[in-house]
Structure 1
Amino acid sequence: MRVMYVGSLAPSATSRHRRLAIERLGHQVIDFDTDPYQSRGGRILSAIRVRTLVGRAIHALNRDLVAVAQHHHPDLIWFDKATYVWAKTVKWCRNNGLFTVHYNIDNPFGPRNDPGWRLLLEALPEYDLHLVQRDINLEDYRSAGARDVYMLRTAYEPTLHFPPPEGWSDTDRPHAVAFIGHPYDKRAQFLTDLWQRHEIPLKIWGAAWPALLSPDAKKALWMGNGVYDDLYRETIWRSRACLSFVTHSNCDDVAHKSFEIAACGGFLMAEDTPGHRAHFADGEEAVLFHSVDDCAEKLRAYLADETDRSRIATAGRKRCEQSGYGNDARIGKVIKYIIKNYNL
């Protein structure tokens, strides 16, 4: 199948990982990178564009997208979080016999009130198929006029997220507890309490943390802005325990990061949710916590027991492989669904 892929193709973008999976599954991919349009004019203009959703860059993206689709005439166009694509552009694709799929890792219906959803919501009824990663979004999209909605959970990327070399041990892990990510919800207070009240040794990587941590906490905990790709994987390798939270303000029930940590062979400590329980056996393939006190108690026990941590981390990695939590398996199911139901 010939697939035109419309999305960010930045090296660290998860959209690029999905594009690579489609190619690994044996399909020909025609790239349409949205980054040059999204970044056009510099940081300030880009920020204004996200909020206003007007301007020359958006016009150029839609014009060029149609031109590339017209030239290559793919069997399918995969749009990844297409916040700059007009409804009339999607309608043109469908009217010209091009099957349109839209995947959105984020939540335009959530309480976080992120800017930039107007064009996507206007175009939503025009797509042939929407892919979402939250159970709650299945009905949200149908109520907004979606023709068809199918589940595509977040996934790990097998070319990046894999275990450390054989023989890796605590002597190779200078960090006791790590959190890599954004300070959504009440994470700053949670991690400060772990460090200050429970005296858990902890390090944080990610942007925006300095504004939410006290000067003492920042000095003790914050290691700098986010780590990506090889450095992200190696930071997981070099940590004895890795924390993972769901983003409640985005109505998440399972964290993308949880699949990545487990796939990297890391010891996963994740927030206790139905979604995490559905994907990992608590105490066997990951360890789940329901409060800061519960998290601290479990961290103390497991940090002192390398053997048990290694057992759980190995089982977590095995669960990822056997249950198909990687991009290839997840996207492979989507493509089978499309072929079966739409005769492509």
Structure 2
Amino acid sequence: MKVLCVFGKYQYGDPARGINTEYAAFVPALKKLGHEVIHFESWDMSSYSSYAELNQALLQTVERVQPHVILTVQLYYEIWWETLKIIQARRDVATISWTTDDSWKYKEVSRFIGTAYHAMTTTYPEVIAKYYSDGISNVLLTQWAASSETFNQPLSFTCCRYKVSFVGRAFGNRMKQIAELRNYGIEVDCFGHGWASGQISTEEVPRIMRESVISLNFANSIGENQIKARTFEVPGAGGFLVTEYTPGLEKHYTLGKEIEVFHNIPELVKKIKYFLEHPQERDAVAWAGFERTISEHTYEMRMEEVLNFAIASKEEYLITNVTISESKSIEDACQLHKLTLWLKFLRSILLWFCIRIWGHKRGRRAARRITYEASWRIFGYKTFTASGCPGRMFPGY
């Protein structure tokens, strides 16, 4: 089967930020399942002067490759609604979008793009009802996993290089939580964008987790606690995971036996000290977590389920939509994407104010963000069409 993966190779489309989680996980898993995988870069705009060029290139790729399934991960509005409807009208390819951060992103993105796909995924059980109420019935409840590319048996306590480590971006509550631990006398080796160590390579991440007596995971950086990929990656790499508690963890691991959890910093301090003083118990939990992960939480398992769901959803769509209304041509969509004098003027004013307040780099990002936040609230799904203001005003920001 041919699978066209439409998402970024690098985090947020920036090579300096390292390989993107979905690229590192999905592509190898799909290949191991025996599928032919074609990657289309949709996050890095350096090769395109506008989103019109990107969407035209995507449709050209679909025509050339003739995929059976298109699997996307949308950041925001880079893939047009019109483009998805053109692909949907082909009737020969199933489309499914893997969503991220639906705890907040459902309201801003997923609910607007959902009906343009044959199927959607979510890792948030509480959001399923919202999909249904918005008329998006083909949604798969799935979860993150661990890449078999990084599986490694746990090291014993005595062979570990780091006592306590954290791998992840430095933002939101994370810096405060690390600072609190240090106030309690717990030193944490931190790795990733924003920390003193700087960005690390994708290959280094599982090595650090495996070589740590304790690998920390904070379940949120901003907002509600969430089950994220790191929950599965640490035990899969042979690490001992101590993670902030998130509702639903019990469905995936036996708490206290396969992974360890905490609810607040004082409790975390106690558990860190306990496991640093009880190496045999630490090793037992690390091994149990590793075995559970390789047996139940691999991306091969997740991707097989996702592809099957996408194909079944496409077939159901074709049955219930015997006659598919003619979609707008990509040429017509591109005409709607042109930047008007009014939008140019609005962009100039917004950039002037934002750059004066936040500086050139952050100001440009802030202007785009302000436009996007206003657009989805006022114009809804049109934000994700060719005529959407954010994409017209800030291509590639």
TM-score range, shorter chain: 0.7 to 0.9
- Residue 188 (structure 1) aligns with: 175
Question: For the structure 1 residues 306 and 158, does the alpha-carbon distance in structure 2 shift closer, same or farther, using more than 3 Å as the test?
Answer: same
Question: For the structure 1 residues 226 and 143, does the alpha-carbon distance in structure 2 shift closer, same or farther, using more than 3 Å as the test?
Answer: farther
- Residue 41 (structure 2) aligns with: 33
Partners of 2:5 and 2:246 lie apart in 1 by 33
Q: Which amino acid aligns with 1:299?
A: I
CA offsets, 1:120-141, max 9 Å, x none? 7643321110111222332333
Q: 1:225 aligns with which of 193, 198, 206?
A: 198
Question: Which aligned pairs between 1:48-87 and structure 2 lie closer than 5 A?
Answer: 56-81=49-74, 83=76, 84-87=78-81
Partners of 2:206 and 2:298 lie apart in 1 by 15
Deviation at 1:82, TM superposition (A): 5.4
Between 85-94 and 277-286, the greater mean CA deviation after superposition = 277-286
Partners of 1:286 and 1:104 lie apart in 2 by 25
Question: For the structure 1 residues 79 and 143, does the alpha-carbon distance in structure 2 shift closer, same or farther, using more than 3 Å as the test?
Answer: same
Partners of 2:172 and 2:89 lie apart in 1 by 43
Deviation at 1:33, TM superposition (A): 2.1
CA offsets, 1:316-335, max 9 Å, x none? 0011122x211101111222
The 8 Å contact of residues 180 and 226 in structure 1, kept in 2 or not, is answered as no
Partners of 1:184 and 1:85 lie apart in 2 by 28
- Residue 22 (structure 2) aligns with: 15
Deviation at 1:25, TM superposition (A): 1.2
Q: Which amino acid aligns with 1:13?
A: N
Deviation at 1:248, TM superposition (A): 6.3
Partners of 1:7 and 1:171 lie apart in 2 by 40
Partners of 1:144 and 1:121 lie apart in 2 by 7
1:176 counterpart = 2:184? no
- Calculate the TM-score normalised by the size of structure 2: 0.70
Partners of 2:192 and 2:181 lie apart in 1 by 17
CA offsets, 1:241-296, max 9 Å, x none? 01111126354432321100011111110112222232221221111111111111
The 8 Å contact of residues 96 and 310 in structure 2, kept in 1 or not, is answered as no
Q: Which runs of 5+ in 1 are unaligned?
A: 42-55, 210-221
The 8 Å contact of residues 126 and 146 in structure 1, kept in 2 or not, is answered as no
Partners of 1:250 and 1:330 lie apart in 2 by 26
Question: For the structure 1 residues 185 and 142, does the alpha-carbon distance in structure 2 shift closer, same or farther, using more than 3 Å as the test?
Answer: farther
SS of the counterpart of 2:50? helix
- Residue 44 (structure 1) aligns with: none
- Calculate the TM-score normalised by the size of structure 1: 0.80
Deviation at 1:205, TM superposition (A): 1.4
The 8 Å contact of residues 109 and 140 in structure 1, kept in 2 or not, is answered as no
Question: For the structure 1 residues 90 and 82, does the alpha-carbon distance in structure 2 shift closer, same or farther, using more than 3 Å as the test?
Answer: farther
SS of the counterpart of 2:98? strand
The 8 Å contact of residues 107 and 250 in structure 1, kept in 2 or not, is answered as no
Partners of 2:117 and 2:225 lie apart in 1 by 24
Higher Cα Rg: structure 1 or 2?
A: 2
The 8 Å contact of residues 134 and 252 in structure 1, kept in 2 or not, is answered as no
Q: Which amino acid aligns with 1:90?
A: L
Question: For the structure 1 residues 58 and 121, does the alpha-carbon distance in structure 2 shift closer, same or farther, using more than 3 Å as the test?
Answer: farther
Partners of 2:103 and 2:240 lie apart in 1 by 32
- Residue 298 (structure 2) aligns with: 326
1:3 counterpart = 2:11? no
Partners of 2:6 and 2:284 lie apart in 1 by 41
- Residue 344 (structure 2) aligns with: none
Question: For the structure 1 residues 107 and 341, does the alpha-carbon distance in structure 2 shift closer, same or farther, using more than 3 Å as the test?
Answer: closer
CA offsets, 1:22-80, max 9 Å, x none? 2221222232222442x458xxxxxxxxxxxxxx3311110011111122222221112
Q: Which amino acid aligns with 2:188?
A: L
Q: Which amino acid aligns with 2:302?
A: R
Give the length in aligned residue pairs: 306
Q: Which amino acid aligns with 2:28?
A: L
SS of the counterpart of 1:92? helix
- Residue 99 (structure 1) aligns with: 94
CA offsets, 1:83-125, max 9 Å, x none? 30000000000111122111122338359x9xxx66x764332
Question: For the structure 1 residues 232 and 26, does the alpha-carbon distance in structure 2 shift closer, same or farther, using more than 3 Å as the test?
Answer: same
Question: 1 or 2 for the larger relative contact order (CA 8 Å, sep ≥6)?
Answer: 2
Q: Which has the higher helix share?
A: 2
The 8 Å contact of residues 243 and 261 in structure 2, kept in 1 or not, is answered as yes
- Residue 123 (structure 2) aligns with: 133
Deviation at 1:169, TM superposition (A): 3.2
Partners of 1:190 and 1:311 lie apart in 2 by 27
Partners of 2:103 and 2:275 lie apart in 1 by 38
- Residue 357 (structure 2) aligns with: none
Question: For the structure 1 residues 36 and 296, does the alpha-carbon distance in structure 2 shift closer, same or farther, using more than 3 Å as the test?
Answer: closer
- Residue 229 (structure 2) aligns with: 256
